[in-house]
Amino acid sequence: MLWVAIIGLVMTAVAVALAARRVLFLYQLATVGPPAPERVEYAKNNVGDEIKAQLVEVFGQKKLLKWTASGTAHFFVMWAFFILATVYLEAYGSLIQGAITGTPDFHIPLIGTWAVLGFLQDFIAVAALIGLIAFAVIRIKNSPKKLGRRSRFSGSHLGGAWLVLFMIFNVIWTMFLFRGAAFNTGNLPYASGAFASEATAALLRPMGASANEVLEHVGLLLHIGVMLVFLVIVVNSKHLHIFTAPLNVMFSRRPDGNGPAQPMRIDGKVVDFEDEDLDGDRLGRGKIEDTTWKGFLDFYTCTECGRCQSQCPAWNTDKPLSPKMLILDQRDHAFKVAPYLTAAQDQRADLHEDVLALLDKPLVGEDGVIHPDVLWSCTNCGACVEQCPVDIEHIDHILDMRRYQVMVESNFPSEAGVMVKNLENKGNPWGMSEMKRADWIEELAGREVDPIEVQLIDEKMPEDTEYLFWVGCAGALEDRAKKTTKAVAELLHVAGVKFAVLGPMEACTGDPARRLGMEFLFDMLAKQNIETLNEAGVKKIVATCPHCFNTLANEYPQLGGTYEVVHHTQLLAKLVDEGKLVPVTPIEEKITYHDPCFLGRHNKVYSQPRDIMAKVPGVQAQEMHRHKERGFCCGAGGARMWMEERIGKRINTERVDEALTTDPDTISTACPFCLVMLGDSINEKKNAGEAKETLEVVDVSQLLIKSIKGQPVKTS
């Protein structure tokens, strides 16, 4: 047995050395970039949340189990890694004890002969084997060769995945080989429970005692050897996520990577645009080495599963953006230039010319690592972040690259430039006069039937006013969105809720600027609004636009503006529950609801709009195939509202096509951008004879006021 131990320990030393060398390289590469102190600080200050995240996302596989078949298979394979660690403990114990005593009958102290442990080891190994079969079937069924772009594995490194499946299979059969032989030689710790090992033993028993003794030694070395080869493969492949996924989850944003865009940082410090010493050339990510270690951790952790890709509205409408490939292309480039990035300063000039040639390749460019069309196709819908089982934050990567392109290179779609100028000069994306923001107020007050006076804030919020109604640029200036604004104002009036508006003092929250990458302009607009809100003494805000809602609630606190912010559907649902708003008139229509991305995925508001519709008599609610956390974008987010869509199918057209499969009388939503985008597509469908003339898109608030009043909402 001494020779068995020597071979096993030598193999282990070699494999561990190779793996350690690779891990050191990965660490050195990740740390070439700037720090991310906020990630470490949050983890330290929220230990309870981090433990919960590990239990739910890593051990509980919450996100993966949403994909029932593949998620279940992964659950068992993942747990096999944990539970079969006890088998390897037994294997090394047998190796060493066999060398010392000549008898490899080692068992784990205290629990090593417990039949339940033996059963659990065999059960999880068999379950993992079934999981491998499921993985193989899923990969064959969804092969890119068969499905092309429709395969979520399109673009993935497929060979590595098959190799890992083969290696896991080798782990399982070698385990049963040495355990079956050990049962026959009397060296298996479990007299009962290890059912699969006993079945293997029955197959091996006719070979005789001597053969089983040899098979036990050979099987033991094979089992350990396979694991060691697997270890080296893992740290050199996409399956590195086995080790990095828990770390990526630990340092990810809470509750997830959606919601607020993160402040811009240089060397880990939040950028102060009023700092005279600010290095303007370091804004955003212009080179791969500008990526923080958390960004590199995202690169290392990507499993190439393609769940993000399969949900991406850009990819689903034949645009070049794949969130998966966005991460993989950066990762692959980082590995190619790693010899330069990790080399000492005086050694860089001596590197291979192929490496040096890559240094001139821009991160974003026509011939860059990331093509501009990829970068500007993103709507910031958050579907990729929502679906990623290992908490990769794709939007953060995109925004960092956009910031560099916009503020350093001045390289972005020309239509967006018009929007930026309008924000700078007029405080709204359309470039309309600030006095136009009060037109809807005059329209409500001038109605012949049920005129309503809306209180306009002069300097301070009146003492008896509960909410500031943040109207937003679209709600004040866009004709279709103004219908929502007037409906909400009337509903609050009916419910007896005291509210006031800023009118001309209100400016764009800065969301379009920030999502474009123009962080400086966002900073300017946000600080201007925060000053206005604070001077007026605002504490509570209700907003109809999910983009405004998200910015006010989640991003203004980054600049010192903290308020209690609710979306109008949240407030209206509460008022309906309290009996202050009572829908009475039936609306006998089939209605399908479209989830706005910045209300749903970014802020997890799914139930309240549906609750309101459920209280309206006669409404037959029908869900589209893609809804709630898997809802499909309208195409307006990420500043795309002000950029022309020239590649592939229009995203709003794709969404309306899906809505039409429910044969609706009305499409409802809760966002002015969605209202406009879906409305435009519906009008195109009507002109082409592909939608009934009576079909319209309305805000949930319009349905509610229609039922309460028993008549259509007055628009003027």
The model carries a pTM of 0.92
* Mean pLDDT of the 61-89 span: 90
pLDDT at 266 over 80: yes
How much is the pLDDT for 713? 44
* Residues 617-658 pLDDT 10s: 999 999 999 999 999 999 999 999 999 999 999 999 999 999
Domains observed in the chain: 1-32+67-237 (no CATH), 288-415 (1.10.1060), 427-572 (no CATH), 577-709 (3.40.50)
Q: How far apart are CA 508 and CA 640, in angstroms?
A: 16
What is the phi/psi pair of residue 592, to 5°? -110, 135
Contact (CB, 8 A) for 258 and 601? yes
Contact (CB, 8 A) for 592 and 622? yes
How much is the pLDDT for 463? 87
4-19 burial, b for 16+ CB within 10 Å, e for fewer?
bbebbeebbeebeebb
* Mean pLDDT of the 395-408 span: 97
How much is the pLDDT for 160? 87
* Mean pLDDT of the 132-157 span: 92
Match 């919450």 to its residue by tokens.
62
Q: How far apart are CA 705 and CA 111, in angstroms?
A: 67
Q: Which residues lie below 8 Å from residue 307, measured CB to CB, with a gap of 6+? A: 67, 152, 387, 388, 389
How much is the pLDDT for 101? 76
* Mean pLDDT of the 327-336 span: 95
pLDDT at 715 over 60: no
**Out of 64-73, 544-553, 608-617, least confident range:** 64-73
How much is the pLDDT for 605? 97
Determine the number of helices (DSSP H) and then strands (DSSP E) in the chain: 31, 11
Q: How far apart are CA 506 and CA 503, in angstroms?
A: 6
How much is the pLDDT for 109? 86
pLDDT at 521 over 50: yes
How much is the pLDDT for 105? 75
Contact (CB, 8 A) for 218 and 179? no
* Mean pLDDT of the 319-337 span: 96
* Residues 625-635 pLDDT 10s: 999 999 999 99
pLDDT at 675 over 70: yes
Percent of the chain at pLDDT > 90 equals 83
* Mean pLDDT of the 667-684 span: 96
Local confidence band at 711 (pLDDT 50, 70, 90 cut-offs): low
DSSP string, 355-378: HHHHTTS-SBSTTSSB-HHHHHT-
How much is the pLDDT for 350? 75
pLDDT at 285 over 90: yes
Q: How far apart are CA 606 and CA 440, in angstroms?
A: 29
Contact (CB, 8 A) for 455 and 465? yes
Report the DSSP pairing between strands 269-270 and 265-266: antiparallel
How much is the pLDDT for 714? 41
* Mean pLDDT of the 77-90 span: 92
How much is the pLDDT for 1? 61
Contact (CB, 8 A) for 364 and 380? no
Q: How far apart are CA 519 and CA 383, in angstroms?
A: 23
pLDDT at 20 over 70: yes
Q: How far apart are CA 22 and CA 467, in angstroms?
A: 57
CA atoms within 13 A of residue 540's CA, in its CB half-sphere: 14
More confidently predicted of 450 and 538: 538
Beta strands in 66-126 (DSSP E): none
How much is the pLDDT for 716? 36
Alpha-carbon distances of 545 from 297, 418, 507, 552, 606, rounded to whole Å: 34, 22, 14, 11, 15
**Residues β-bridged to residue 499:** 467
Average pLDDT, rounded, for the chain: 93
Local confidence band at 113 (pLDDT 50, 70, 90 cut-offs): confident
The end-to-end CA distance of the chain, in Å, is: 93
* Residues 475-492 pLDDT 10s: 999 999 999 999 999 999
Tell me how far apart the 2 most distant CA atoms of the chain are, in Å: 102
Q: How far apart are CA 440 and CA 437, in angstroms?
A: 7
| Tokens (6 digits) for 83 | 């539970």
* Residues 523-538 pLDDT 10s: 999 999 999 999 999 9
Local confidence band at 3 (pLDDT 50, 70, 90 cut-offs): confident
How much is the pLDDT for 66? 84
pLDDT at 272 over 90: yes
